[in-house]
Amino acid sequence: MARASKASPKKKTSAKTSKAAKKSPIEITLPSPSKVETWGMNHYSLSPVFFPEKEEDFRDLFSYANNKGLKLTFRGGGCSYGDAATNTKGAVIDISKYNRILEFDSKTGIVKAESGVTIKQLWEFGIEKGYWPPVVSGTMFPTLGGALSMNIHGKNNFAAGSIGDHVLEFTFMIPNGKVFVCSRKKNQELFLPQSPALECSEFF
């Protein structure tokens, strides 16, 4: 008669997922290409266009683009005469739906807004409260994000400077999804290059 061996105790399986485990790739349906035109109507691209509405949408799009090797271009109001807001070799992220005014201080006139807010939205919001934007472009349709990345100016440039002179702080997302709060005192190395030069910008 064979002697039965004692069964070894089963190891308990941990319900926790390892922190090192990789997240599943973000699945996004690539929109059908549409015509994306410049303000001067002398250039256009046929590009898939995304319309993010919250910060997490941008993070997901960055993750998707990184996984797929997809090149991204950002578009605000599409008011550039050049081809800055078109993309012949990738997709366009249109920020026009990321357009909420979040906070306003009636004593100082300081406003906190998302990058898709237009100059028109800003002055319509402020004028009934006794405020007017310090820099207003020749058209009302540029977004704050586009205006800052191009560092636009108005007819009062000789006195008021450009829009970058009036921005106190912005949040800046890099392609890995990390967000930095930037000002003249905080993350200064990111704030100073981003506000005056499109060449340095990733996203506003």
Could you count the other beta carbons within 10 Å of the beta carbon of residue 9? 6
- Residues 201 and 151: beta-carbon distance below 8 Å: no
Give the angle subtended at the CA of 63 by the CAs of 143 and 83, to the nearest 5°.
40
- Residues 204 and 147: beta-carbon distance below 8 Å: no
Phi-psi group of 177: left, alpha or beta (phi > 0 → left; psi -120 to 50 → alpha; rest → beta): left
State mean pLDDT over 65-80: 94
pTM for this model (two decimals): 0.81
Q: For the chain, which domains are there? A: 29-97 (3.30.43.10)
Residue recorded with tokens 């997809």: 70
- Residues 83 and 100: beta-carbon distance below 8 Å: no
The answer on pLDDT for 89 being more than 50 is yes
What distance in Å separates the CA atoms of residue 145 and residue 40, rounded to the nearest whole number? 20
The answer on pLDDT for 154 being more than 60 is yes
State mean pLDDT over 155-166: 89
The answer on pLDDT for 163 being more than 60 is yes
State mean pLDDT over 41-69: 95
Could you count the other beta carbons within 10 Å of the beta carbon of residue 62? 22
Condensed to tens digits (0 to 9), the pLDDT of residues 106-138 reads 999 999 999 999 999 999 999 999 999 999 998
User: Residue 189: in which H helix or E strand, if any?
Assistant: helix 188-194
